[in-house]
A and B are shown apart, each in its own frame.
Chain A
């Protein structure tokens, strides 16, 4: 009987060894080659992205490398205490920890890793983060090889330089610089413990976004250091009492950086951008970018609090451009940045509503010989479409004003007039005009429809900000640029962007439009801007898509052109709870624009717009366009110098039929 048991035992043992042997040889078939020097794999020159002031805002793909002698022993000990207390006594795997982890896992508890530093290094170097048994075994095998190839110091050095601390911080040198503004050699015990703690979960233990979590983890690391006798009780008490001073700042500009990366990828290719060690100098104003992100986050949250609950977050986007140069200063693609998320500031999928009207009106000034005091007739109209259907534009407030000046029509965003102008101009010409203004997302022929007059086309806030800047620049278009200069790994300049204005429009007509758009802020649909205390010279236009799914405001001073969009990603309507009202550009976009511009104007002071020679300002009656002497009444209108005082021609309207159906504001 006993002999039987012995044979059974031997048979099982043989079977286990056989399976283990077969498994071993199967697993080693596709194990990776290990280099003679780990630095070859750990070190890579990062692509660095700089803000306009020369400060580094993002590192891409690369890792800096410092020898172990330049890494504070405090950090080395803190790391070992936090991650692998038995590092110096095992050969790549901690058998006790592994057995404990295996038992825990078999008992159905959460899968325990029990990974040593060497295993973590191997995982970071060669494997995915998928939880697979085969991956785990391969990781163990490579760890054994690494331990047989390199000294403990070499392994620790590679680990310290490879490990990710969150954001753009790869390796201890980056982390020490970013979190404490010092070299890895100079880390104190509390700082070292904080950084060693982050390694476990760089997102949830990030001291900028989750300080309490990071502090709790730091204290755990300090306790482990004391338990391991890496520090004595006195040092421990001092470290626990120490208040950490984070000298860095939370990362801003991620949406801008994403945009820059996508632009650079188009030009140089994915690998060149991520692994080429480029230096990309951008036009981002970090201060303005910070203001923009804070404003969008706060203002969208405030607006959301007043709206019907939809169960999905309200979103916002902002793009700001330097008027004199076309350089993009700030991009915010969401109220809260999500890595790889949708950048609403540069994507052209949201209807711009009445934001398109300045282009329609400009085309009318240019082609229909109208002036801002031309009298137009706001009345019910129906257009016969090429499809033989009928279309009747509807005003936002569903009333008709009768005769009024062209400037008044823009100030009050009268849809009927915009539709009439587009019909006379033809949608094709309106698309051409928009494209001349740089709104290149409009396409022919699909956007050449009459409803384009009410902004049925999708554009991006970035396009809108650049296009409106043309009015501030007296007809000169500046292509928006985000990248000023790109250098290769040796510092040779690969590309340099020059500020390049293209005089595309008549300065007088663009100023007439600018003056009309000033009216929008001073007494039109965006008068809330003045009510909120923004008193610098400015012009702009609100935009609201049908059914309140998009609320825009794009406006500019002499220094900055800024476009703001708010809405839901899934085209839900925006209605306030009490009183129940739709959120239009004046209620949604304009307050955010104002909040941002009030802070931005400190850095980008505005002055009066320069009026080109050959124009004059009249004070006119908005109803009939006649000049009036008392400046308290009427509205100021920019007009050609040679215009006669009685000149207020009635513009001939197209044929109309009564009917109503579509609106925008």
Chain B
């Protein structure tokens, strides 16, 4: 019995040894297979490929990808703003709009053609405050001006003509007084002529003014009509005319009242006004015409 048991035990032990051997061989083969064929790596790799679609886009490159998206949004916003500015700029047709635009946008660049449109809308005797018309003819002939850069506000305004190389061709700096002349010309203002001291010396009722006007030299009269559109557009509404006793940059403020508290403001050259006020209008016309010529030449 005990012999039989020991034989069984021996057989069992032999079997176990063989199993260890087999297991060892299997483990060895697995290790060799792994070393040769990267079985585990491939398995894990395939598993990760399988569950890749459920994973989030995280990590440095994905963050950069998101930042590229943000960059696109930021630049789109800048581009949109630039487009809006271009459209707004293209729609500017007079000097006041240009100043308003420049006040909210730092440097404004106009093509010379648009600038000239705005320039020509100004009363011709105010144009030299910006650039002398003769100089613009020179620039047009040489085609030097590539852009007009404007910058500033109502108290200080700069206009610079630059060539294609971005160098200054011509420059104008307008101070507060000059800006007032250019912006307020022809504007209706809340103004009572009778209560303003500056109009006290030269205050005319409508009929007094029309008498003076009728006596002007015909050419001067035509100039008045041209520079003061109110004379033809709303002559019937004019109740009084006030001429300031002050001179601003060789211009005199002329206010045409259309009601007790409302008047249209014009700035006319000193010679226009002196002509109007002079008893000998023919002589005055000739005198001031010559003087005006001198002023133009001086500028």
Contacts and interface: CB of A to CB of B under 8 A. Distances in A.
Check if A and B associate: yes
Interface of A: 24, 28, 30-34, 40-42, 44, 61, 90-93, 95, 124-128, 141-142, 144-145, 147-149, 268-269, 271-278, 325, 484, 488-489, 492, 494-503
Contacts of B78: 268, 272, 488, 494
Contacts of A126: 58-62
A32 B65 contact: no
Contacts of B49: 145, 148-149
A328 to B, nearest CB: 15
Contacts of B53: 33
Nearest to B63: A126
Interface string B7-30: 000000000000000000000000
Given A276-B71, A488-B79, A499-B167, A91 B42 contact: yes
A475 B62 CA distance: 53
Main secondary structure of the interface of A (DSSP, over half): mixed
Given A33-B56, A91-B45, A501 B162 contact: no
Contacts of B35: 95
Given A32-B55, A33-B52, A272-B75, A92 B171 contact: no
Q: Which 3 A-B residue pairings sit nearest by Cβ, starting from the closest?
A: A126-B59, A148-B45, A144-B45
Contacts of B74: 268-269, 271-272, 276
Contact of B59 (A32, A93, A148): A32
A24 to B, nearest CB: 8
Most buried by A among B41, B42, B74, B158: B41
Given A32-B55, A498-B166, A503-B171, A271 B62 contact: no
B107 A500 contact: yes
Q: Report whether over half of chain B's contact residues are helix, strand or loop; otherwise say mixed.
A: helix
Contacts of A40: 65
B201 to A, nearest CB: 34
A218 to B, nearest CB: 29
B151 interface: yes
A272 B82 CA distance: 15
Nearest to A149: B49
Contacts of B70: 269, 271-272, 275
A273 B62 CA distance: 18
B149 A500 contact: yes
Task: Name the residue in B49, B68, B162 with the highest tally of chain A Cβ atoms < 10 Å from its Cβ.
Answer: B68
Nearest to A29: B55
Interface string B59-88: 111101101101110110011001000000
B68 A44 contact: yes
Contact of A501 (B58, B64, B71, B168): B168
B134 interface: no
B50 to A, nearest CB: 10
A496 B140 CA distance: 24
B75 A499 contact: no
Given A32-B57, A144-B45, A274 B149 contact: no
Given A488-B78, A494-B79, 16 more contacts: A33-B52, A33-B57, A33-B58, A125-B61, A126-B60, A149-B45, A149-B52, A271-B74, A275-B64, A325-B167, A484-B166, A494-B78, A498-B147, A499-B168, A500-B160, A503-B171
A271 B173 contact: no
B9 to A, nearest CB: 13
A276 B72 contact: yes
A267 B177 CA distance: 34
Contacts of A275: 64, 67-68, 70-71
A92 B56 contact: no
Contacts of B72: 276
Nearest to B60: A126
Contacts of A34: 52, 55
A90 B62 contact: no
Contacts of A269: 70-71, 74
A272 B70 CA distance: 7
Contacts of B46: 148
Nearest to B52: A34
Interface centre among B38, B56, B57, B61 (most CB of A within 10 A): B61
Nearest to A92: B41
B57 to A, nearest CB: 5
Given A275-B68, A498-B147, A499-B168, A144 B75 contact: no
Interface string B30-56: 000001001001101110110111011
Residue from the set B44, B53, B149 with the largest chain A CB neighbour count within 10 Å:
B44
Nearest to B35: A95
A494 B82 contact: yes
A32 B160 contact: no
20 contacts: A31-B55, A32-B62, A33-B56, A33-B62, A41-B65, A90-B38, A91-B42, A126-B61, A142-B48, A145-B45, A148-B42, A148-B45, A148-B49, A269-B71, A269-B74, A494-B79, A498-B160, A499-B162, A500-B151, A502-B173
B60 A271 contact: no
Nearest to B38: A91
A408 B216 CA distance: 62
A92 B71 contact: no
The CB with the most chain B CB atoms within 10 A, among A31, A127, A145, is that of A145
Contacts of A41: 61-62, 64-65
A33 B107 contact: no
Given A92-B41, A276-B71, A492-B79, A498 B162 contact: yes
B160 A501 contact: yes
Given A33-B55, A488-B79, A501 B171 contact: yes
Nearest to B20: A6
A126 B55 CA distance: 13
Nearest to A40: B65
Find the residue from A33, A40, A149, A492 having the highest chain B CB count within 10 A: A33
Nearest to B57: A33
Contacts of A28: 48, 51
B232 to A, nearest CB: 40
B210 to A, nearest CB: 45
A500 B167 CA distance: 9
Nearest to B46: A148
Nearest to A145: B48
